């Protein structure tokens, strides 16, 4: 982050001479907080659909803890690992299936992100086709959308999970049990397709909230002048968020800022506007992460034990009981 600020210091200093628009900050906080809570409800529906003993309170508690760890682990999905570990720790049976709910939750979130970006490109195609960089982003979003939709459709086809290939894989040593649990989880979802579509719908609403939070963060630091439009945000913020997922820096810090700044410049904003927008958005997300910090501190001992328990130690404990 220091390197990013150093690179754009002159431009940032010019922009920061403007006063903050506090109503926009409040809007960004509310929209981002609501979108994050929606992702926890999405995960709750996915877990409950598989018959686990799991409450909304559990989803909020583990969700906020996972969100906090997004600022620690490399990339913006590091919290998923922590969330999956804690959920598996609390579910003595079918742990692989429990962990798979976190993976499916992330996949549905990514699919809706790709679809929103690809859809938003359509009304802007006249401007986009004049720039090779933006056309490349459209291709990436369409490719991701197509791959996600194909995978989602295959998951809903019972014949796919009945393939003899899965039975052979389930008999393999070490990984066979995990494969069997994953396939069984997919079969359960096939009988509850409504849950998957509800989760996908929640993903769309949640991402609109997140992107809107970016938009109001931009308005908070620079007003309405020289800002990309809301529809432009719907197009390029999904692409920028993909850069934040790359597991290089904690929470994607620096990568997301550079990506947003570059896309802002391509859409006519002044250099540095994207950096300050991300900083405002980071401040909003950190405020929300404080809830995760409170959840972590109230159960720190249990969480640390779960994160550091070796599988052979746990198996030995279960055998002794």
* pLDDT one-digit tens code per residue, 13-25: 655 566 778 888 8
C-alpha span between 280 and 299 (Å, rounded): 30
Q: Is residue 163 included in any domain, yes or no? A: no
Q: Is residue 3 included in any domain, yes or no? A: no
Q: Is residue 182 included in any domain, yes or no? A: no
Residue with tokens 């926890």: 40
Q: Does an H or E element contain 248, and which? A: none
Q: Which two structure tokens, joined as six digits, stand for 14?
A: 């010019």
Least confident of 58-72, 220-234, 304-318: 304-318
**Structure confidence by residue, pLDDT tens digits, 238-254:** 988 887 776 666 666 77
pLDDT of residue 87: 82
Residue 153: alpha-carbon gap to chain centroid: 21
> Model confidence at 190, in pLDDT bands (50, 70, 90)?
confident
> Model confidence at 89, in pLDDT bands (50, 70, 90)?
confident
Beta bridge partners of 75: 250
The structure's pTM equals 0.82
Q: Is residue 320 included in any domain, yes or no? A: no
* Average confidence (pLDDT) over 183-195: 85
Q: Could you tell me the residue range of the domain that residue 111 belongs to?
A: 26-157+193-314
C-alpha span between 23 and 272 (Å, rounded): 22
pLDDT of residue 258: 82
pLDDT of residue 12: 61
C-alpha span between 214 and 29 (Å, rounded): 10
pLDDT of residue 28: 92
Count of domains observed in the chain: 1
- Judge whether 255 and 244 are in contact, CB under 8 Å: yes
C-alpha span between 210 and 207 (Å, rounded): 5
- Reference 285, options 12, 9, 111, 35; nearest CA is 35
Mean pLDDT of the chain: 81
pLDDT at 114 over 90: yes
C-alpha span between 71 and 101 (Å, rounded): 22
Q: Is residue 100 included in any domain, yes or no? A: yes
């Amino acid at each position: 982050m220091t390197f990013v600020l150093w690179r754009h210091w002159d431009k940032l200093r010019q922009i920061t001479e403007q006063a903050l628009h506090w109503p926009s900050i409040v809007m960004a906080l509310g929209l981002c907080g609501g979108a994050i809570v929606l992702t926890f409800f999405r995960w709750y529906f996915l877990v409950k659909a598989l018959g686990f003993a799991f409450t909304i309170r559990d989803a909020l508690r583990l969700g906020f803890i996972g969100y906090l760890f997004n600022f620690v682990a490399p990339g913006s999905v590091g919290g998923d690992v922590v969330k999956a570990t804690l959920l598996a720790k609390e579910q003595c049976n079918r742990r692989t299936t429990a962990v798979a709910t976190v993976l499916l939750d992330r996949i549905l979130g990514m699919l809706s992100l790709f679809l929103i970006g690809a859809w938003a490109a359509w009304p802007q195609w006249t401007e986009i086709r004049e720039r090779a960089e933006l056309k490349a982003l459209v291709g990436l979003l369409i490719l991701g959308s197509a791959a996600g939709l194909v995978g989602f459709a295959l998951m809903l086809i019972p014949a796919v999970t009945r393939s003899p290939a899965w039975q052979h894989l389930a008999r393999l040593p070490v990984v066979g049990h995990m494969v069997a649990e994953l396939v069984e989880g997919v079969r359960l979802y096939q009988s509850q397709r409504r849950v998957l579509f509800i989760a996908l719908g929640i993903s769309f609403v949640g991402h609109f909230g997140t992107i809107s939070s970016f938009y109001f963060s931009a308005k908070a630091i620079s007003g309405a002048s020289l800002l990309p439009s809301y529809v432009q945000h719907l197009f390029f913020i999904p692409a920028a968020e993909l850069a934040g997922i790359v597991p290089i820096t904690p929470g994607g810090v620096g990568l997301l800022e550079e990506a947003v700044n570059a896309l802002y410049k391509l859409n006519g904003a002044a250099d540095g506007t994207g950096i300050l927008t991300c900083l405002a958005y980071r401040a909003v997300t950190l405020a929300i992460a404080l809830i995760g910090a409170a959840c972590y501190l109230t159960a720190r001992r249990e969480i640390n034990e779960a994160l550091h328990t070796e599988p052979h130690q746990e198996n030995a404990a279960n055998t002794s009981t």
